[in-house]
Amino acid sequence: FEKLKRGLAKTRDLLLTDVNDIILGKKEIDQELFDELEEALIAADVGPAFTAELIERMTDSVRRKELDSPERLKEVLRNTMKAILKKNEAPLVLPKNGIFTILVVGVNGTGKTTTIGKLAHQFKEQGHSVLMVAADTFRAAAIEQLEIWSQRVGVPLIKQKMNSDPSAVVFDAIAAAKTGRADVLIVDTAGRLHTQVNLMEEMKKMKRVMSRELPGAPHEVLLVLDATTGQNAVSQAKMFSDSVGVTGLVLTKLDGTSKGGVILRIAKEYNIPIRYIGIGEGLDDLREFSSEDFVSALFE
């Protein structure tokens, strides 16, 4: 928790310093206070929908006389954030039997490879036999990076030559898993934005091949988003969920950004569970998302 708190320090500074300033010197809750609060929330990247719901709930609390002094505002703010984020809290649960397949998607540079390495490590620690799958065959660097993680965490990598068909790599991986070599497959995919249409078609094909070879696969389509990119992360969430369908989110690089509020925005606007958050480059710096811990780290 202390690590999470340190990681979220910049976001906390941005959000709470403003909120404290607004409360300071105010004797009553009035429209002016709400206007200032609204401005601070928008500045913190939490998005219009989240801000609107927050202000609405607070206005309600004033009406019900639960919120009767500016000092109580922070408490109501905290509880409301928690309530909104709670809806997006749903940890990824791996079944006891069968092969579980995770397709990891996202734009290059968001932290896909790192997340795959960290996940492979966690699942291995939990006793699973994991395979990493190099289905970004477009960049030699992508395969090399995965190779490094594969050695680092001691999890085998399924790969082919550069420029081979990503679906063929996935096919191989599923065949290997079926022979009993693995019960979890974590598939890296290409994230080149400038060829968006091809990329999405490639993903759809991969999904088709997976479900043909293994009913129910992919069991999870995990979208990796970089929290430091704020608004870009929001549009990537839209692009990927519209085109390939996303079943879970990972928000990386929450450490060292003041834009962590974007998690609230994405939670509110896209009803996709937030599975994990990344708070550093180390092996253990990928945490299961907990609304309770997240909000506590922001306010304590």
How far apart are CB 273 and ligand GDP at their closest, in Å?
18
The yes or no reply on residue 255 touching ligand GDP (CB under 6 A) is yes
**Closest residue to ligand GDP in the complex (CB):** 278
Question: Which residue lies nearer to ligand GDP by CB, 109 or 216?
Answer: 109
How far apart are CB 70 and ligand GDP at their closest, in Å?
35
Hey, what amino acid is at 224? V
Hey, what amino acid is at 42? I
> In the Cβ-directed half-sphere of 217, how many Cα atoms lie within 13 Å?
30
Q: Which stretch binds ligand GDP (CB under 6 A): 55-63, 66-74, 161-169, 247-255?
A: 247-255
Site for ligand GDP in 167-186 (CB under 6 A): none
Task: Report DSSP state, residue 180.
Answer: I
Figure out which of the listed residues 209, 280, 289, 297 binds ligand GDP, where binding follows CB under 6 A. Answer: 280
How far apart are CB 37 and ligand GDP at their closest, in Å?
29
Question: Which residue lies nearer to ligand GDP by CB, 252 or 258?
Answer: 252
Site for ligand GDP in 141-160 (CB under 6 A): 145
The yes or no reply on residue 253 touching ligand GDP (CB under 6 A) is yes
How far apart are CB 231 and ligand GDP at their closest, in Å?
18
The yes or no reply on residue 109 touching ligand GDP (CB under 6 A) is yes
How far apart are CB 112 and ligand GDP at their closest, in Å?
3
Task: Report DSSP state, residue 177.
Answer: I
- Dihedral over alpha carbons 64, 66, 72, 75 (to 10 degrees): -100
- DSSP strands (E only) in the chain: 100-105, 130-134, 157-158, 184-188, 220-226, 248-252, 274-278, 286-288
d(Cα 138, Cα 136) in Å, to the nearest integer?
5
Total chain residues near ligand GDP (CB under 6 A) = 18
Are 70 and 26 contacting, i.e. CB atoms less than 8 angstroms apart?
Answer: yes
H helix or E strand, kind and range, residue 193 = none
Question: Which residue lies nearer to ligand GDP by CB, 29 or 117?
Answer: 117
Cα of 222 vs its chain's centroid, Å: 8
Hey, what amino acid is at 251? L
Vertex 152 angle, CA 144 and 192, to 5° = 35
The yes or no reply on residue 243 touching ligand GDP (CB under 6 A) is no
Binding site for ligand GDP (CB under 6 A): 106, 108-114, 145, 252-253, 255-256, 278-281, 285
